């Protein structure tokens, strides 16, 4: 099953590792293949995805980004 964790982290198979080789911290959640495809599409188009309170949020806007918008 695909999974998601943290900000902009989705994958299949093994847990995701950051640039230093450490696993990404946070609550990993299982997502459907449809959610995985939608998340990848968001990431390719420059949008964010995030796991918030155990729920995958597509087109997530980090707090600092939303403060800059009217």
DSSP state letter for 26: S
Residue pair 31/5 in contact by the 8 Å Cβ criterion: no
pTM for this prediction: 0.78
Lowest mean per-residue pLDDT among 49-53, 57-61, 64-68: 64-68
At residue 10, does pLDDT exceed 60? yes
Q: How far apart are CA 13 and CA 2, in angstroms?
A: 7
Residue pair 53/26 in contact by the 8 Å Cβ criterion: no
| pLDDT, tens only, 18-38 | 778 888 888 899 999 999 999
Phi, psi (degrees; rounded to nearest 5) at 6? 60, -150
- Does residue 50 sit in helix, strand or coil? strand
């Amino acid at each position: 099953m695909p999974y998601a964790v943290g900000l902009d982290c989705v994958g299949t198979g093994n847990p995701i590792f950051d640039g230093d080789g450490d696993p990404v911290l946070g609550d990993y959640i299982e997502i459907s293949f449809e959610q995985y495809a939608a998340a990848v599409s968001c990431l390719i188009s420059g949008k964010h995805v995030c796991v918030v309170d155990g729920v995958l949020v597509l087109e997530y806007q980090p707090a600092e980004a939303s403060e800059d918008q009217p």
